[in-house]
Structure 1
Amino acid sequence: MRTADEEAAPALEATQAALAAEHAAVYGYGVVGALLGEERGGEAREAYEAHRARRDALQGTVRELGASPVASAAGYALPFEVADEAGAVRLAVELETGLAGAYADLVLVAEGKARREAAGALRDAAVLAARWGGRVEAFPGLTEYREESQGDG
């Protein structure tokens, strides 16, 4: 028989992973915003603020689960060189795609309100990735289903 702590462990682990992804997104959107012109700069600021709010909410969730929230790193290695507007947009797509994966994992293990919030965050990440020009996946964040859905059409 599993204890309550053992049953909550997957949700805590996935919440911490989503929090870590939000920390990275906040950092990444600082880079994105610095390289965009006024036209798309507003979008970057909105995304930055939304991710800060989600990060703060996740920190509270982790505390409610009885743990200390994972800390933000002092800096993050970017997945590729970001030197211009096109690179900044590509980074925004990458950030949102990573967030979609983290939130998909959280949806799988969370329950109730936490699951609804994770599903909303997953949806928002997929929408933002598409707005930035990314390709919308049939199952955002769930790579194991991508190949199956691509073979159907």
Structure 2
Amino acid sequence: MTSPVNSPEPQRPTEPPAAALFDALVTAHATVYGYGIVSARSTPEDNYLVAKAIGAHREHREALLDMLARRSVDPPLVAAGYQLPMAVDGPIDAANLAVRMENDAAVAWRAVVEQTDDHDERAYAVSALTQCAVNAAFWKQTLKIWPVTTAFPGGTE
């Protein structure tokens, strides 16, 4: 996952459901940032994938802000910058970063599914987790990686 650079450390809640939502928002902030890099390094043919994915992660970010507000939890702020987990020098690197970010987002959403006690949050998290898995599959197709899917996205099984 991309990580913040020179950002004040947010106060992460201790309650597991709120902590999972908080962590998912941290991941969403980083993913939106990372897709800016992916966009700059992708081929024009892959721009539709970038647009689709960044739009989804922005929507997820807004939903997470609402979920945290309903729990009276102050959300983490967007960092001024993020350290990428790899160098991104061209279209292949960009697609690999996209796969990595989608997998990281899937991990965060799976934690929400596992930790939340709210039916609506869980339903949203399942949908977001599925969307991350589908986005990763499209990027893997671009990279010609097989298999393009995993049995249980966001997990290690």
Q: Into which bin does the TM-score normalised by the smaller protein fall?
A: 0.7 to 0.9
Match of 1:115 among 122, 126, 139: 122
**What is the CA-CA distance between 1:73 and the residue it aligns to?**
1.0
Partner of 2:133: 126
RCO comparison, higher one (Cα < 8 Å, 6+): 2
Partner of 1:139: 152
Deviations 1:41-74 (A, max 9, x none): 1210121111111101111111110111111111
1:5-24 to structure 2, matched below 5 A, reads 9-24=15-30
Separation in 2 of the partners of 1:122 and 1:31? 22
Partner of 1:31: 37
**What is the CA-CA distance between 1:136 and the residue it aligns to?**
2.1
With normalisation by structure 2, the TM-score equals 0.83
Separation in 2 of the partners of 1:140 and 1:129? 10
Separation in 1 of the partners of 2:80 and 2:51? 21
Match of 1:80 among 62, 81, 86: 86
Matched, 1:51 2:57: yes
Separation in 1 of the partners of 2:49 and 2:138? 9
Greater alpha carbon shift after TM alignment, 93-102 vs 51-60: 51-60
Q: Which has the larger radius of gyration?
A: 1
With normalisation by structure 1, the TM-score equals 0.85
1:58-77 to structure 2, matched below 5 A, reads 58-77=64-83
Separation in 2 of the partners of 1:92 and 1:121? 16
Greater share of residues in helix: 1
What code does the residue aligned with 2:152 have?
F
Greater alpha carbon shift after TM alignment, 41-50 vs 99-108: 41-50
Separation in 2 of the partners of 1:90 and 1:37? 13
Runs (5+) with no aligned partner, structure 1: 1-7, 147-153
**What is the CA-CA distance between 1:127 and the residue it aligns to?**
0.9
What code does the residue aligned with 1:10 have?
P
**What is the CA-CA distance between 1:37 and the residue it aligns to?**
2.0
Secondary structure of residue in 2 paired with 1:136: coil
